[in-house]
Each structure stands twice: as structure tokens, then as C-alpha cells.
Structure 1
Amino acid sequence: MRELSVGPGTTVTLHFSLALTDGELVDSNFDSDPAEFTVGDGKLLKGFEQALLGLREGAEEEFVIGPEGGFGAHNPNNVQVLDRSEFEANIELEEGLMLSFADAQNTELPGVVVDFNDDEVTVDFNHPLAGRDIVFKVAILEIKPATVH
């Protein structure tokens, strides 16, 4: 086991899980291949990366990451009411349905239907985990010096 700890200039191999505070599992790789990231490469949200700083190989920890360090606050301005005619007539709308939209730059933007009637569809363009505390469990498998490509 190396004496390195998670920090700048390191590549980390880990198992992780993300869950809501009510226990609902959002994502996990504990039953599959581990993930690898280099500190500062942008693969992890800042709050998740910050929680790992200083950990060593073999560490198993659990953190609660608030919205500010995770998926951001829920922004009411990201909830839009669209005219029903903007949707294909054959689409079967239901609350919770995730749809793909194009923004002004023609970039794909996911949105979740939160309400609808014959005239209007209310779509939430916030990240589905925005405004939520996330329980982040990790098991650090390996820490090694980062290689420059």
C-alpha cells in the first residue's frame, strides 16, 4: 500500500455509490468495475472531489454532500411552461417523463415533465438531483501519481 493520499497530482481508483438521504440508491459501482479519476480532471463534481482529499488507500467513508457541492440548488427559473402544440401529437405525456430538448445553441438539454394539460406542459430543466443532499459512499482502492499525457 502506498503512502499517497488523495490530492493534486494523484489518480484514484474507487468504488462509489450515490443515494438520497431516504436511502434511495441513485448510482453505484460497488458491484461492477471501479471508476478512476485524476484529481482536478472534472470527472467528479467539486464537492465530491473535495470530500475525498486526504483519504488513503483502503479508506471507506460516507459523506453527505449538500446541493452547493453536488448538483446545485433547484432554480425555479429552470421550470418552464411550454405550449402543448410544441410537442408531437403522438407523444404520451406523463409526470416524470424525461424528454430531450435543444437549447438556443442546439445543445441537447434534458427536461422532466412535472405537469401538463391539453394546452400547456410544465417542464423542469433542473438536474434531477438539484436541491438534494446526496449520501456519497466511497472505498478507495488505489492512489497513484497522475501521469501526464
Structure 2
Amino acid sequence: MIENGQKVKIHYTGTLDDGNQFDSSAGRDPLEFEMGAGMVIPGFETGVKDMAVGEKKSIHIPATEAYGEKRDEMVMEFEKSQLPEGLEPKAGMGLQMQGPQGQPVPVQITAVAEETITIDANHPLAGQNLNFELELVEVN
């Protein structure tokens, strides 16, 4: 059992339930994080904590233990006049807004009307169940 505070290095490949891959450490250094520090989604940490170095396994993480369900209040409409000058908004375009404490919040434009745009501030993987192929490389 890996204890909170220990650092782990893990290789992973993440796929959605439809089989589409959304991320992988293949060809890169393994992901390194501290157990219990909230650096990765809860279901990922749960899936790793009982692994042994060298072990490979598959885990399924429901949306509620990943990036949560899509929240309707995270979809908002803004006047185009609030956009930076010269920006030509298009559906699918990513923007960065500022959160309440000034932190950057990535959003995506989902619709463009005559005077307004609609943006979605949900995480792109919100509402998705996630699947991971894991290989534990190291524990410190």
C-alpha cells in the first residue's frame, strides 16, 4: 500500500469509454505525483495506491471521481463587446478567462450569435468516464 506523502512515478494511457485516447505518457517521462496531495483526480489516486512497482493494471474511473459531471451553470453567455479587440470568435475556439481570485480558467466557445457568444467553462473531460492502463515505475 502506497502511503500519503510518498511520491510515485507511473506510466499511463487514458481512454474514454468509446475507446478514444485523450492522454498518454508514452514517449515521455512517467507522471510523477505525491499521494494524498490532490495533484491528480481522486479515482486515479485510488487506482494507484495498492499497486506494486512493476505492476500493470487497468482502471475505470466514473465521471464523479474524475472531472465531475457537466454543470449547466458553467455554460454562460457574454456580449461580444466584452472580448479583446480584434478577436474573431468561432465555435470550438479556446479562450482563457479569469476566475474570482484572478486564476486562469480555460473555456471553450460553444456558440456564436450576432451580439453574443456562449462559452463552456466545464473541464473538457467533465461528464466522461475515464479508463487508464497503468504501470507503476517507482515509489519514493
Equivalent position of 1:128 in the other structure: 124
Q: CA 1:86/1:22 → structure 2, altered by over 3 Å: closer, same or farther?
A: same
Equivalent position of 1:58 in the other structure: 54
1:67 partner letter:
A
TM-score normalised per structure 2? 0.90
Equivalent position of 1:147 in the other structure: none
The answer as to whether partners of 1:7 and 1:54 remain within 8 angstroms in 2 is no
Unaligned runs of 5+ in 1: 145-149
Comparing 133-142 with 36-45, which one deviates more in the overlay?
36-45
CA distance in 1, matches of 2:113, 2:73: 20
- 2:91 is aligned, of 95, 108, 112, to 95
The answer as to whether partners of 1:17 and 1:28 remain within 8 angstroms in 2 is yes
| C-alpha deviation, 1:38, in angstroms | 2.1
| C-alpha deviation, 1:89, in angstroms | 4.5
| RMSD of aligned Cα (Å) | 1.6
CA distance in 2, matches of 1:73, 1:117: 26
Equivalent position of 1:74 in the other structure: 70
Equivalent position of 2:14 in the other structure: 18
Q: Does residue 1:35 correspond to 2:53, yes or no?
A: no
The answer as to whether partners of 2:5 and 2:37 remain within 8 angstroms in 1 is no
Q: CA 1:101/1:9 → structure 2, altered by over 3 Å: closer, same or farther?
A: closer
1:11 partner letter:
K
Q: CA 1:125/1:31 → structure 2, altered by over 3 Å: closer, same or farther?
A: same
Q: Does residue 1:115 correspond to 2:111, yes or no?
A: yes
Q: CA 1:12/1:104 → structure 2, altered by over 3 Å: closer, same or farther?
A: closer
2:51 partner letter:
L
Larger radius of gyration: 1
CA distance in 1, matches of 2:5, 2:124: 32
The answer as to whether partners of 1:80 and 1:123 remain within 8 angstroms in 2 is yes
CA distance in 2, matches of 1:117, 1:73: 26
2:59 partner letter:
F
TM-score normalised per structure 1? 0.85
CA distance in 2, matches of 1:25, 1:128: 13
